[in-house]
Structure 1
């Protein structure tokens, strides 16, 4: 980091500011250690780096660091732009930015992953927030928390405004034992519907806070409860889509810490979260079967539940497992209150950037966050699927199970190669929706499976000569009906043949022993051969690849026998000659 005074380079050591110093900076609700400034040692080429650390005695495994971005770390480049140097860090996997006040910075970052810098990435402003006037409305704002996956450097670009207390939040919620083997508790909870006997939908399998490792000490105060439920708000975390199943508990611990420790909320904001694999996770504490008031939809948290899909659905379309999981939660919740998932409801706003306080808004019972607030959430591609999602919820509430969709072909697979003995045939894989669907292969000979032939390539053998080869490509994914595609070779399998003949001098006759064989020594050809000696022609069937051809009356002398094999059942045609001598006696 370049810090200069009187033309000389200076080096500053990290400064840790306690809560008293943090109060002066307007972040009194944030109980995170804040490194005040870093000198040249913070640059990627220096000897020091931004070091994350875990709280003493914290079992969650979350390491974090919050750094104030003043002139030393984020110098001004022009009238409304600021940019850091490439800063070295200890390993981190999540990045966010927080600030207070009306100014809204436009933040972009690059990350150093596996020694290479990623392209610039914009971090959208987090609009999933508590309602004004509630105890957890801290005044602290922030970006969405981005999932990086594992980086050791960061480069920051800010445009528009740089609030005085703009802070970088680095986080690394490492994996804990058990993160790789999380199984839902199949015990079904009954949704409480204010004494109404309307529950017609079974509770889905929901993974608990304990299963994702929530540190309950981070929560501030008891849960608050609503008195009714009118809506389901659909969100996305805008965090990234390349996470593995085993990463999800760590991601949730990261969101939880960011919401409570960096933004000052009482708990994680969402009531439920759904991962890209279709698993449902308990969000805010208080009971999945209760009307827990969330902090997800400004102005509209009082009569709703919030479901956030983990990932960025401006970037990719949601798969069927996601839609099914969201539908299951929505149907379970809405059924207890007799709500129509295809309908609208008049809701009194408590104040958002789209609807002033006490304004009555007519909104879909199942809506996207952008319907109530000025935000892109839940991403354009997820928002476009809300009509289909509402239909699924209606179907579930009517007692009709959701049939899983079939994997869809985007680019069809192709069979390449020549159908010939000893030559390989290969399937060039296609592409599918969902993109991470996987394919298996089964090769067939005349429509019957070939034992052991289950790879993407197959080399024809002797048994295949004259047969029609094909391959069935079956592509599947959890939550989808498998797709089977059949690819056929363009012709039967052929084998190249050669012809040779053996003869001995004979008196006034010719006897040829003719052999037809395959190149490569595959099975013996069938059919017949035609031999011409002088003006005589004779056709004789092959027996185990051999034919004996006799010409009883031939004038003495020397001549050439011409042999023709026209091919048969996959054996190619071939010709040959043989020198013949006929004696007088």
Structure 2
């Protein structure tokens, strides 16, 4: 488009396929063009090469895109289809670079049911990037686990956990993941058994009270209580259970208690004694 001193021009031409029309304006070195192409027709539009730091913003019908054919001898060409098109020179702002993980995220804590894991987002460039976290179980997202702390549960047993951190800066995002933890293990349980009364006559009944505890999780399931040949299997309620026996024979008697464990808590046991007079 030679510099003839014109600031704008327009025109149209009736062709066998329909009317082609176009108009352009020039403001200094800035050029804008609008054109209409008949139905089922394609055309090549030739425009002056945009100055450095400037690009053509192309708008087509219903979101259609123009095919840029390249620039040669100061002319940039586009192939377009039918409909109304506009070409406007705008400042060419490069897309911002996505954040870069300088120091990978990490996870601290014990990989045990009821324990507490905490994710650290690492270090990102630029430092102003905002970060969010998603906990992963064997590489798959855990539904709702988007806090920086996470308590492993029964579903995590024998799995490896990791934290995937997403950094966002100026509309761009990047992700980085921590090294996975060791395999999650069940919570350790403690069993405490007591017998009341501690001293009875033969033929009287004694009651064995069992308390099962575990850090960060409520034990469930059953305990087996044995006294001599007698056996009771009772279910825990709020971590407690009890069983009664009739005392037989004289001397010290041993009560053995075995907690069977659960999906989240490991098994364990205890002993208690009582005396038959």
- Which category of TM-score, normalised to the shorter sequence, fits these structures? 0.5 to 0.7
Specify the SS of the correspondent of 2:172. coil
1:198 aligned residue (6, 20, 33): 33
Which residue is 2:207 aligned to? 511
1:358-417 deviations in whole A, cap 9, x for unaligned? xxxxxx969xxxxxxxxxxxxxxxxxxxxxxxxxxxxx97xxxxxx89958768644443
Q: Structure 2: how far apart are the matches of 1:342 and 1:449? A: 48
Distance between the aligned counterparts of 1:195 and 1:306, measured in 2? 12
What's 1:418 paired with? Answer: 110
Structure with a larger share of its residues in strand: 2
CA shift in 2, pair 1:511/1:493, >3 Å: same
CA gap 1:548/1:422 in 2 versus in 1, 3 angstroms: closer
Alpha carbons of 1:530 and 1:552: their partners in 2 closer, same or farther (altered >3 Å)?
Answer: same
Structure 1 contact 436–477 (Cα < 8 Å) conserved: yes
Instruction: Give 2:251's aligned residue.
Output: 557
Note if 1:306 corresponds to 2:19.
Answer: no
Distance 1:412 1:557 in 2: 65
Highest relative contact order (Cα 8 Å, sep 6+), 1 or 2?
2
Q: Is the 8 A contact 1:191 1:199 kept in 2?
A: no
Structure 1 pair 191–571 and aligned structure 2 pair: CA distance change class (3 A): farther
Which residue of structure 1 aligns with residue 237 of structure 2? 543
d(CA) in 2 for partners of 1:500, 1:196: 87
Which residues in structure 2 correspond to 1:458-469 (within 5 Å)?
458=149, 460=151, 465-466=153-154, 468=156
Residue 476 of structure 1 and its aligned partner are, at CA, apart by 1.8
Aligned residues: 211
User: Aligned partners of 1:531 and 1:438: how far apart in 2?
Assistant: 55
- Partner residue in 2 for 1:241: none
Match of 1:530 in 2: 224
| Residue pair 1:465, 1:571 contacting (<8 A) in 2 also | no
Q: Given the two structures, how large is their TM-score scaled by the length of structure 2?
A: 0.54
- CA drift at 1:447: 4.3
Q: CA deviation at 1:502?
A: 1.7
What is the alpha-carbon distance in structure 1 between the residues aligned to residue 273 and residue 169 of structure 2? 66
Matches within 5 A, 1:80-91: none
Residue of 72, 78, 83 corresponding to 1:345: 72
**Residues 514 and 548 in structure 1, CA contact (< 8 A), matched pair in contact too:** yes
Cα pair 1:419 1:494 within 8 Å, conserved: no
The change in CA–CA distance for 1:229 and 1:435 in structure 2 (over 3 A counts) is farther
CA RMSD of aligned residues (A): 5.0
Identify if the C-alpha distance between structure 1 residues 473 and 535 changes in structure 2 by more than 3 Å, giving closer, same or farther.
same
> Structure 1, residues 313-358: CA drift from partner, whole Å, max 9, x if none?
xxxxxxxxxxxxxxxx31249xxxxxx85524236xxxxxxxxxxx
Calculate the TM-score normalised by the size of structure 1.
Answer: 0.29
Give, in angstroms, the shift of residue 558 of structure 1: 0.7
Shift of 1:544: 1.8
Secondary structure of the residue aligned to 1:449 is coil
Deviations 1:29-81 (A, max 9, x none): xxxxxxxxxxxxxxxxxxxxxxxxxxxxxxxxxxxxxxxxxxxxxxxxxxxxx
* Contact 1:511-1:548 within 8 A present in 2 as well: yes
Give the drift of 1:490: 6.0
CA distance in 2, matches of 1:542, 1:554: 27
Unaligned ranges ≥5, structure 2 = 1-23, 36-45, 59-66, 78-85, 88-94
* Residues 422 and 459, structure 1, Cα contact 8 Å, conserved in 2: no
Contact 1:557 1:582 in 2 (8 A): yes
Contact 1:407-1:432 within 8 A present in 2 as well: no
**Counterpart pick for 1:473 among 142, 162, 165:** 165
Asked if 1:449 corresponds to 2:144, the answer is yes
| Residues 441-496 of structure 1 deviation map (CA, whole Å, 9 limit, x = unaligned) | 3669994536xx74x3x263xxx653548756332222325659799876667433
Q: What SS does the corresponding residue of 2:55 show, helix, strand or coil?
A: helix
Report if aligned partners of 1:405, 1:481 keep a CA contact under 8 Å in 2. no
Structure 1 pair 405–488 and aligned structure 2 pair: CA distance change class (3 A): farther
Counterpart residue number, 1:439: 131
Paired residues for 1:105-116 under 5 Å: none
Aligned twin of 2:192? 500
- Say if 1:196 and 1:573 are closer, same or farther in 2 by CA, change over 3 A: closer
Residue 493 to residue 470, structure 1, CA distance change in 2 (3 Å): farther
Q: CA deviation at 1:526?
A: 0.9
Larger Rg: 2
Q: CA deviation at 1:514?
A: 1.1
Counting only pairs closer than 5 Å after superposition, residues 29-428 of structure 1 correspond to structure 2 as: 192=26, 198-199=33-34, 230-232=48-50, 305-307=51-53, 329-332=54-57, 342-346=69-73, 413-420=105-112, 423-428=115-120
1 or 2, which has the higher helix percentage? 1
Query: Secondary structure of the equivalent of 1:306?
Result: coil
Q: Secondary structure at the match of 1:198?
A: strand
- 1:331–1:197: structure 2 CA closer, same or farther, 3 Å change rule? closer
